[in-house]
Homo-oligomer: A and B are copies of this chain.
Amino acid sequence: MSDPSKYSLNSKLVAQATEEWLEKRGVTKREIAELVMVLQQAYFPDLTIEECEQNVNAVLSKREVQNAVLTGIQLDLLAEEGKLLPPLQEMIKHDEGLYGCDEVLALSIVNVYGSIGFTNFGYIDKLKPGVLMRLNDKSDREIHTFLDDIVGAVAASASSRIAHRKQAEREGSTNVPLD
């Protein structure tokens, strides 16, 4: 049985697994950055896609975010393999509208960058631009019930991060209230 004294969290492995699994599930950081662009370009006309991608990277470096990404992808994978308990299997496979644990995990990502991200998350989750459209396509055998919400949440969080940093720049401050 497990020996708790031997267990020790390895943060690097968690971070690596997050990177790898996003890639294996077909989501690039550039695509998430493009969602950020959709959300923020109207407010910051000079915003570049590289800047968006840097902010996506910063969001993905947070432990809270990594935990949610891995947990969500795990449930999607198991649903693809048909290995979940019957009613859960059906609900996740079909992205049941009345099942909201995917939104719950996604919101835990948004929360880390403060409440101003709620609106962006809901907006992008409803409109499903770019990569979200692909993830939400039900015609192939892949299941992304959790991942599409999670990717939207990472984009919304990166948008919040940009909004806070741009304000700090405007004020000539090096002190960023939420990073």
Chain B residues within an 8 Å CB radius of A168: 11
Q: Are A177 and B119 in contact (CB under 8 A)?
A: no
User: Please, what's the 1-or-0 string for A2-30, where 1 marks a CB less than 8 Å from any CB in chain B?
Assistant: 10100111111111010001000000000
Q: Are B108 and A100 in contact (CB under 8 A)?
A: yes
Chain B residues within an 8 Å CB radius of A85: 17, 21, 70, 73-74, 77
Q: Are B108 and A101 in contact (CB under 8 A)?
A: yes
| Identical chains in the assembly | 4
Q: Are B101 and A63 in contact (CB under 8 A)?
A: no
Q: Which of B120, B121, B163 contacts A98 (CB 8 A)?
A: B163
Q: Are B97 and A101 in contact (CB under 8 A)?
A: no
User: Please, what's the 1-or-0 string for A62-79, where 1 marks a CB less than 8 Å from any CB in chain B?
Assistant: 111011101101110110
Q: Which of A18-75 contact B (CB under 8 A)?
A: 21, 61-64, 66-68, 70-71, 73-75
Q: Which of A21, A77, A104, A112 has the most CB of B within 10 A?
A: A104
Chain B residues within an 8 Å CB radius of A13: 86-87
From known contacts A9-B98, A87-B13, A101-B115, infer whether A1 and B122 are also in contact, taking CB-CB under 8 Å: no
Instruction: Tell me the smallest distance from the CB of A133 to a CB of chain B, in Å.
Output: 15
